[in-house]
Every structure is written in C-alpha cells, then in structure tokens.
Amino acid sequence: MTLLPSFRAVARIAVTLLLTVAAVGGGLWLWDYYMNEPWTRDGRVRADIVQVSPDVAGLVTDVRVTDNQLVHKGDVLFVVDPGRYRLAVEQAQANLDSAKAELAYRTAEAHRYQQLGNNVVSTAQRQEVTSAMAKAAAAAKQTEAALDLARFNLDRTEVKATVDGYVTNLQMMTGNYVAAGQAVVALIDSHSFYVMGYFEETKLPRIHVGAPVSVRIMGSGAELRGRIDSITRAIVDRDRAEGTGLVANVNPTFNWVRLAQRIPVRIALDDMPDSLQLVAGRTATVSVVGTPDGSPKVAQLPAGQ
C-alpha cells in the first residue's frame, strides 16, 4: 500500500520531465525552423520585360495587337506610316540609277583614253579620267548603300515582336507619333518566368546553387519545382552614401536592434503545368528542400503556408 503513492509521484515527475523535454525540443526545433531553415514567404514571380521601340519615327497607322494578347516572335505589333519611307526608297533608287549612268560614262571614257597613243593624250589626262572613274564607282557604291538603308527603314516601319510573350499595359493608339528609340510597348517574355526569393542573411549558409526548391504561389494549390540558379552578390548599404570628394558619408546613428538583411536568390523553375497562370509580381513561398547533390534538406511547408 505504501508503494502506490510513491509510484504515482514518480509517474507525475516522469510525465512532467517528458513534457518539459518535449516542450524544449519543440521550441528549439521551431526556433531553428523559423530562424535558420532556408525558406521564406517573401518570394516574387518575375519575368524579363522587353521594351519594344520603333527603329524609325512617324505616325502610327495600324495597331495589330490588344492588351494582354499572346504574340509570337515575328508577329507585327504596330505599323509606322510607311509613306515617306517609300518615297525615300524611290529617291535612293533614282540616285543609284544616276550614279550608275555616270560610272558607265566615266568607264567608257577611261577605256577610250587608254586606247589613244601618248602623242594624242598625256599621262596627266589619263590619270585624270582614271580618277574620275574611281570617284564615279565610289559614288555608285555610296548611293547603293543609301538605297539599302532606305529599304531597311521601310521594312522597319512594321514593328515586330522579338520574343514570344504577352503584351501588357498597352497604351498605343492609332495616330500616336512615335520617335525612334522610344519605348512604347511592353512585352513580357513568356519563356523567362522565374522566382526571386528574399531570404534572411542568417539562412544563407544553408542555401547553395543547384539545390532543389519547392515553390507555392499564393492563391494556387499547385506546387512548383525548381532549383537555385544564383545568389546576388550585392545589396544597397542604406547606412552609407557617396559624400563630397568621393569620401564615404556614413550615417552617424546606429540602431541597436538590427534586423537580418534579405538577400535576393534567383530560382529557376522546372516544367510548369499549363493550367497555372504565372503573373509577374505574384507572391510565393519558397522552400529549399534539398542540397545540390539531391539529398533531402527540410520538410516542405504545408499547402496553406
């Protein structure tokens, strides 16, 4: 009878110790998971944006795309008024015809002088006509190049897509005047989507190029697979700026509570499901789930994370 209370006391102590150990172990695991394990909710879908600009200036006479339309490389986006460029081609062609006629005359003249004897024409006269023929040949080449340029400009009045992608935020309208080199259409390269994960600097020791990654886009239940493509090598130092005389201008105040800097890590995505609509700017949760050699690293986040 005296052993029963003692057993209960030992059991209570054992249960208490067990719960304490479990609580400490769980706390340490949570601390390591949230502070050191390589995952972040601060991820963004990004893509390369091509700023399409015309190579020639003029009025826009035809817009052949609509906002958010999928286009393919080589599709015509809009047309710049080709009228003046057709006239430039005709003028260059006329100049070339004239230059060729002049070259033919100078060539025949030089050939005729070569047939005459030294008692009829002097060496200086022969050199003069030979020089005139050479100048006519150079002028013909120059006008031929001008014709090629005029045809090139005429061809560039049709502004075409340089990549497969989506037209976004289209504000181009028929009648707008565009200047050469002025970006007027934004084209999102459909083959360039990637994810940029912003990891705390305390987690960098566990992040390596080539490691497999799990990506979950907010609002989508699909899990994407990828790999770490690269890690940035520089971020802005907000406590320092360029001063006068190229001397460092350091902030005189210091915040004792220092937050870990977030380091951009580029994630290359593997095959993506056709049903998933990737939109540059969407948020994502990024988890490093392995090491470059393929061994597992951390458990994946639940679908709701």
Q: What is the DSSP string of 148-211?
A: HHHHHHHHTTEEE-SSSEEEES----TT-EE-TT---EEEEETT--EEEEEEEGGGGGG--TT-
Name the pLDDT band for 300 (thresholds 50, 70, 90).
very low
* Residue 68 contacts residue 168 (beta carbons within 8 Å): yes
Name the pLDDT band for 1 (thresholds 50, 70, 90).
very low
Residue 296 in this model has a pLDDT that exceeds 50: yes
Burial, 115: exposed, middle or buried (Cβ in 10 Å; 0-12, 13-18, 19+)? exposed
**Percent of the chain, pLDDT > 90?**
49
Which amino acid would we find at residue 259? L
Average pLDDT, the chain: 84
In this predicted model, what pLDDT tens digit does every residue of 230-263 receive, in sequence order?
999 998 887 777 777 778 888 787 777 777 889 9
Tokens of residue 261, six digits? 């800097």
In this predicted model, what pLDDT tens digit does every residue of 181-198 receive, in sequence order?
999 999 999 999 999 999
pLDDT (average), residues 204-232: 89
Residue 124 in this model has a pLDDT that exceeds 80: no
Least confident of 10-14, 197-201, 212-216, 290-294: 290-294
Name the pLDDT band for 64 (thresholds 50, 70, 90).
very high
Residue 301 in this model has a pLDDT that exceeds 60: no
Least confident of 31-35, 41-45, 268-272: 31-35
* Residue 207 contacts residue 199 (beta carbons within 8 Å): yes
Residue 277 in this model has a pLDDT that exceeds 90: no
Give the residue among 7, 146, 19, 34 at the shortest CA–CA distance from 89.
Answer: 146
pLDDT (average), residues 25-46: 73
Give the residue among 105, 205, 69, 92 at the shortest CA–CA distance from 153.
Answer: 92
**Percent of the chain, pLDDT > 70?**
86
In this predicted model, what pLDDT tens digit does every residue of 133-171 receive, in sequence order?
888 899 999 999 999 999 999 999 999 999 999 999 999
Least confident of 71-75, 110-114, 267-271: 110-114
* Residue 214 contacts residue 287 (beta carbons within 8 Å): yes
pTM of the shown model: 0.74
Residue 2 in this model has a pLDDT that exceeds 70: no
Q: Does residue 198 sit in helix, strand or coil?
A: strand
pLDDT (average), residues 55-82: 95
